[in-house]
Amino acid sequence: MDIKREDLLQLYYYLKLTRRLEDRVTSLYHQGKILGGAWTSNGTEAVSVGYGYALEKNDIAAPYFRDMGAFLVRGISAKRIMAQYLGKKTGVTGGKEGNVHIGDLNFGVFAFPSHLADNYPVGTGAALAFKMRGEKRVVAACTGDGGTSRGDFHEGMNFAAVRKLPIVFICNNNQYAYTTPLRLQMAIKDVAERALAYGIPSKIVDGNNIVEVYTAAKEAYEIARNGGGPTFIECKTMRMHGHSEHDSAKYVPKELLEEWKKKDPISNMEKYLLENTIDGKDELEGIDSRVKKEIEEAEAFAEESPYPTPEDGLKGVYATPGEEM
């Protein structure tokens, strides 16, 4: 698949924006400015940026908590996300929640349930609605490798396969479900094998190669959009931080982290852009400067934003009956 130069540069921009935003969130967490927890996608950014960027405007994304890239690509700004983490009124939930249990239907993003694989049946429900309405829209639903060991994963996969629904299931296989390595989660080599049980075609891609992720997602979306039913995409990657920023991840062998450090998705993309003369080093540094400025502005916006009032807690809790999605 040929990818336009401007799209390749946008993929690079969102990789950098995701990394820098989450690095800043991590710093603020360790300074005690963020209460609760901070869950990041460090090392796995190519998965969420890739599948999120391949969607069309009217499609739906059902991301999970390591999908910061998908939030940004779909249009939820770094300012709103930073304000979200600081519990401010201008955050995505208006200060009701302090981390990434967020979504915004204005941008086609479902807020994810904490029970991770619930994204699959929730996304399947949206895909069923699209099919019943005769709309050419698709859903991308993502979960981690650990999520695929839960019952809701299988329920969503089975229903989508039987009804041949327009949904693409993404698996961020980052090797660990909290502290449990993949070999202690399942007795199969590839998570993608699970799709075969439901007659769903699958694809395994290098989750640190954003061009591969984007291409596989784009192709699967077109199959789903044209009545071909669901596809399962396993993105093999590595979670380079702990489960969250309070977790030192001492249970992960250092050799494994060193091995995956060499496959960093941002370094991979820089190499790709330079080797294929798509852009020069100066231009890439220009994107980095732009991203740095955006994050500084996002933090200032969040710091200056007000906290919600007690009355604000009563607003937006329930949907208004009759509202269209």
Q: Is 251 a catalytic residue?
A: yes
User: Which residues, 6+ apart, have CB-to-CB distance to 300 below 8 Å?
Assistant: none
Give the number of C-alpha atoms closer than 13 A to the C-alpha of residue 81, restricted to the C-beta side: 29
Main-chain phi, psi angles of 112, to 5 degrees: -90, 145
**What is the distance between the alpha carbons of residues 150 and 107, in angstroms, rounded to a whole number?**
28
**What is the distance between the alpha carbons of residues 317 and 96, in angstroms, rounded to a whole number?**
9
> Which residue out of 19, 24, 74, 243 is catalytically annotated?
243
Measured from the Cβ of residue 26, the count of other Cβ atoms closer than 10 Å reads: 17
Alpha-carbon torsion angle 92, 95, 98, 103, nearest 10 = -20
As to burial, measured by CB atoms within 10 angstroms (0-12 exposed, 13-18 middle, 19+ buried), residue 197 is exposed
N- to C-terminal Cα distance for the chain? 33
**What is the distance between the alpha carbons of residues 125 and 295, in angstroms, rounded to a whole number?**
35
> Which residue out of 115, 178, 246, 251 is catalytically annotated?
251
Which residue spans within the chain are E strands per DSSP?
60-62, 139-144, 167-173, 176-177, 180-181, 202-206, 231-236
Q: Is 29 a catalytic residue?
A: no
> Which residue out of 19, 194, 239, 241 is catalytically annotated?
239
- Greatest CA separation for the chain: 55
Q: Is 19 a catalytic residue?
A: no
| Of 197, 148, 199, nearest in space to 171 by CA | 148
The residues annotated with a catalytic role in the active site are 239, 243, 251
